[in-house]
Amino acid sequence: MHMLLFGPAIVALQQATEPGGANPLLGIAAFLLMLGILVVVHELGHFLTAIWMGIKVEEFGIGYPPRALVLHERNGVKYTLNWLPLGGFVRFANSDDGAQDALYGAGGSLAAAPPWRKIAVMVAGPLMNLLLAMLIFTTIFTAMGVPTPTGNQQISQIFASTPAAQSGLQADDMLLSLAGQTVSNPQVIGEVAKTNTGQPVAAVVQRNGQTLTILLTPGPWTDPNGTAHASGFGFSYTPEVIQERVGPLQALGYGVTYSLDLTGRMLQGLAGLPGAILGIFSSTASPDGQPIGPVGIARATGEVIQQPGGFMAFWNLTAVLSLNLFLLNLLPIPALDGSHIIFSLIEWLRGGKKVPPEKEALVHAIGFMALMGLMLLITANDVIHAFRGTPVLGGG
């Protein structure tokens, strides 16, 4: 049996959401719809490639066993719906005695298939998730335009008892320049604060159609999480973007490059994953990049689906999670696609000599138990944040 493990997920969203007020039933329904799409697309990659390679498939399942019902049966393949709606699987014929091979050819069972065929089947699932994300982003860019930064920064929140609060700066102000410098690169804001501690600097902002100049004096401040900063202003901000209309071919190019860029940023974020896991039982809101499980993803889905533009936000989140599944399933984590690929590569390099099945099964079993333990840990954290009312995606 090959399984798709949905989560823990690394959610990297590019937009803030309004916390609170989410209808949990709507969030759960949207989450299950999203999960169904991601699972079916992923497993279709494995399923169709296996059929193309002449590898026998016994079952195509949505959800984890126990089985709820058989939806359909065709050419010896059972299409099933299972009770645990947290993933899916394709069950391959696993005979090593040649019986399946006599019926279906040299690649009749997955175990008997040549390593390159196994690798193709394993890669196909994650690849379908990558293609799905590219398709979704392309559709969004075609319909809504490509988000293009203007070079300004939108002030989203002013923290209490900070230099920004004392200056009269307000949330929703548009920061045009700081100390005579443009802020298209947001690092400029931190650099200006460090080099001008205790010295007033001019911030040019746009407020209600008027351009104002406000004096800010960077200095020590403490953020809502209790972290002390030696110098800064004490406001949060996001880039101002406009939607630039493009044609379908341009949207396709942006969809492909945006997906690859976001995947690269997720890959970089994996370096901080161990520390994020160790610190998940924090009383603060879940920061970008913090791993969340099914409960957290369901809550995040509820948050985005009920904000203005929630329909597009839902598909944006679906694409992000699809990229997450593409990346995580290719990592050499026992029980996931990447681990199966590694064992197939070892077999290939050894001239077709397999790793003893009992040893491979032991590695996958230990890895799967470790993943389930991590999932329970992350789910417990998700539940704690849910009872505290902490928004998954932050309040901006």
pLDDT digits (tens, 9 = 90+) for 58-116: 999 888 889 999 999 998 899 999 888 766 788 988 644 443 333 333 446 788 889 99
- Picking from 199, 219, 244, the residue at the C-terminal end of a domain is 244
Tokens of 328: 């995580």
- Picking from 244, 264, 297, the residue at the C-terminal end of a domain is 244
Question: Do 273 and 184 share a structural domain?
Answer: no
- Predicted local confidence at residue 238, as pLDDT: 85
Higher pLDDT, 285 or 327: 327
Residue 165 lies in a domain: yes
> What does the alpha-carbon distance between residue 71 and residue 82 come to, in Å, rounded to a whole number?
10
> What does the alpha-carbon distance between residue 299 and residue 292 come to, in Å, rounded to a whole number?
10
Residue 396 lies in a domain: no
Confidence of residue 5 (pLDDT cuts 50, 70, 90): very low
* C-beta neighbour count of 285 within 10 angstroms: 17
- Predicted local confidence at residue 107, as pLDDT: 44
147 cis-preceded (ω within 30 degrees of 0):
no
Q: Is pLDDT at 247 greater than 60 in this prediction?
A: yes
Q: Is pLDDT at 297 greater than 70 in this prediction?
A: no
Tokens of 386: 């849910």
Q: Is pLDDT at 325 greater than 80 in this prediction?
A: yes
Question: Do 262 and 137 share a structural domain?
Answer: yes
The helix or strand, by DSSP H or E, that contains position 20, with its residue range, turns out to be none
Confidence of residue 148 (pLDDT cuts 50, 70, 90): confident
- Predicted local confidence at residue 77, as pLDDT: 92
Question: Do 237 and 111 share a structural domain?
Answer: no
Least confident of 18-27, 125-134, 309-318, 366-375: 18-27
3-state secondary structure of 106: coil
> How wide is the angle at C-alpha 346 spanned by C-alphas 340 and 348, nearest 5°?
105
Residue 357: give the domain boundaries: 2-145+249-388
Write the pLDDT tens digit of every residue in 190-246. Answer: 899 999 999 999 999 999 999 999 999 999 988 877 778 889 999 988 888 888 999
- Picking from 177, 212, 244, the residue at the C-terminal end of a domain is 244
For the chain, the average pLDDT equals 79
Question: Do 294 and 187 share a structural domain?
Answer: no
- Predicted local confidence at residue 199, as pLDDT: 93
Give how many domains the chain has, as a whole number: 2
Higher pLDDT, 301 or 261: 261
CA distances from 177 to 156, 183, 189, 205, 324 (A): 16, 6, 9, 7, 36
Question: Do 141 and 172 share a structural domain?
Answer: no
Q: Is pLDDT at 16 greater than 70 in this prediction?
A: no
Question: Do 155 and 130 share a structural domain?
Answer: no
Residue 102 lies in a domain: yes
Question: Do 352 and 303 share a structural domain?
Answer: yes
Phi–psi pair at 228, nearest 5 degrees: -85, 140
Q: Is pLDDT at 171 greater than 70 in this prediction?
A: yes
218: amino acid identity, one letter: P
Question: Do 263 and 153 share a structural domain?
Answer: no
- Give the helix, strand, coil percentages of the chain, each rounded to 5: 45, 25, 30
Question: Do 380 and 264 share a structural domain?
Answer: yes
Mean pLDDT of 292-298: 61
Residue 395 lies in a domain: no
Tokens of 201: 């600097």
> What does the alpha-carbon distance between residue 150 and residue 199 come to, in Å, rounded to a whole number?
28
